[in-house]
Amino acid sequence: MEYQRLIDRILLETKPLAKNGKVASYIPALAEVSPEKYGISISTLERQRYNTGDHDVLFSIQSISKVFTFSLAYARLGHKIWERTGREPSGTAFNSLIQLEHEHGIPRNPFINAGAIVVADILLSIFPDPKKVLLDYVRELANNESINYDENVAFSEKASGHRNFALAHFMKSFGNIQNSVEDVLDIYFHQCSLALTTDQLACSFLFLANDGVNPHNNRQILTASQAKRLKALMLTTGLYNESGDFAFRVGMPGKSGVGGGIVAVIPNLLSIATWSPPLNEMGNSVAGFEALERFTTYSGKSVF
Ligand code: GLN
């Protein structure tokens, strides 16, 4: 498969679509990012890497970090994690408060904000220094020691994160947040601020294409069953209430973030990451979504 020619072509074809979206502005630091940026990277289990466009520029991975934190917590808690969060699509926006009242503070799934905040709370109960543990984890998965938090983005979100504070306090009133809201959100805002390139992001998700084993050092990160289930969650909830359309049009388990990144995997084959900041109304990258659709269409490869 000529992946290099394929992603070069897809980047050219889909770049103009970015003008149909809007860069996230509710986190002030994200609003400063150029809407013109666009990168695509593929990392394969055969140790090949293919890159095009702005693949070497760091960007804020935002909600994509929810996969890393969930994976860390899931490996420790196993099925007990389902006492704290559900695993059904929410059908509402990623930052919605509505369901939580009816569902007694148990978020629908770990990939909406409420669910990720509960996962941050779990990490804080397990690890004395969860931010360090998370950073080491992502560096190991990406096989790259230079990865770091972007303190400017974390601070900017903390200063404007009223909805996330509301979600956390609301869940605490139901007993589903055990630590202080300030401490839990400090982890959450930092995980969202993780800055990776598309190349690093594609590398860091390869363990999910490899039955839970990190191909860079052969360490079992998740059991094969846990990796399978995490991918099922990505397929059903990874793009918020556009997950159904992503499964329909793209056909890969994926995860998006409001920084404009999307990453997706094909088991036993590869991981692919796109970054184009302008978002559609659901909070997903317009050009990235289309690029991934074209990738599975042109290559004939998907999970279906
Ligand atoms: N940090 C963002 C928020 O909490 C993450 C949301 C996202 O990427 N969808 O609003």
CATH code, 81:
3.40.710.10
Q: What is the pLDDT of residue 1?
A: 65
Give catalytic status of residue 50 as yes or no.
no
Which residues constitute the domain of residue 281? 2-299
Report the atom number in ligand 1 closest to the C-alpha of 62: 8
- Report if residue 249 sits inside a domain: yes
Is the distance from CB of 262 to CB of 256 less than 8 angstroms?
Answer: yes
Rg (CA), the chain: 18
The pLDDT, as a whole number, for residue 302 is 96
Closest CA to 87 of 199, 207, 274, 238: 238
Residue 213: predicted pLDDT: 98
Q: Which of 50, 74, 137, 240 is flagged as catalytic?
A: 240
> Among this protein's residues, is 298 annotated catalytic?
no
**Domain contains 94:** yes
Encoding tokens for residue 4? 């290099």
Angle CA(146)–CA(124)–CA(120) in degrees, nearest 5? Answer: 75
| Residues 63, 111 contacting (CB under 8 angstroms) | yes
Cα–Cα dist 83/160, whole Å: 30
Residue 79: Cβ within 10 Å count:
9
pLDDT recorded at residue 91: 87
State the distance from the centre of ligand 1 to the C-alpha of 257, rounded, in angstroms.
Answer: 7
Structural domain total, the chain? 1
> Beta-carbon neighbour count of residue 25 at 10 Å?
12
Residue 37 Ramachandran class (φ > 0 left, ψ -120 to 50 alpha, else beta): beta
**DSSP 8-state code for residue 285:** B
148, with CB counted inside 10 A (0-12, 13-18, 19+), is middle
DSSP per-residue string spanning 163-178: HHHHHHHHHHHTT---
Of 59, 94, 152, 237, the residue with max ligand 1 atoms within 8 A of its CB, to mutate for a pocket test, comes to 94
Query: Is residue 304 in some structural domain?
Result: no
Is 137 one of the annotated active-site residues of the chain? Answer: no
**Residue 18 falls within a domain, yes or no?**
yes
Q: Which of 26, 64, 95, 240 to mutate to test the pocket of ligand 1 (most atoms within 8 A of CB)?
A: 95
Look at residue 38 and tell me if it is in a domain.
Answer: yes
- Position 188 in a domain: yes
Is the whole model's pTM more than 0.75, yes or no? yes
For every one of its 304 residues, what pLDDT tens digit does the chain have, with 9 covering 90 and above? 699 999 999 999 999 999 999 999 999 999 999 999 999 999 999 999 999 999 999 999 999 999 999 999 999 999 999 999 999 999 888 898 999 999 999 999 999 999 999 999 999 999 999 999 999 999 999 999 999 999 999 999 999 999 999 999 999 999 999 999 999 999 999 999 999 999 999 999 999 999 999 999 999 999 999 999 999 999 999 999 999 999 999 999 999 999 999 999 999 999 999 999 999 999 999 999 999 999 999 999 999 9
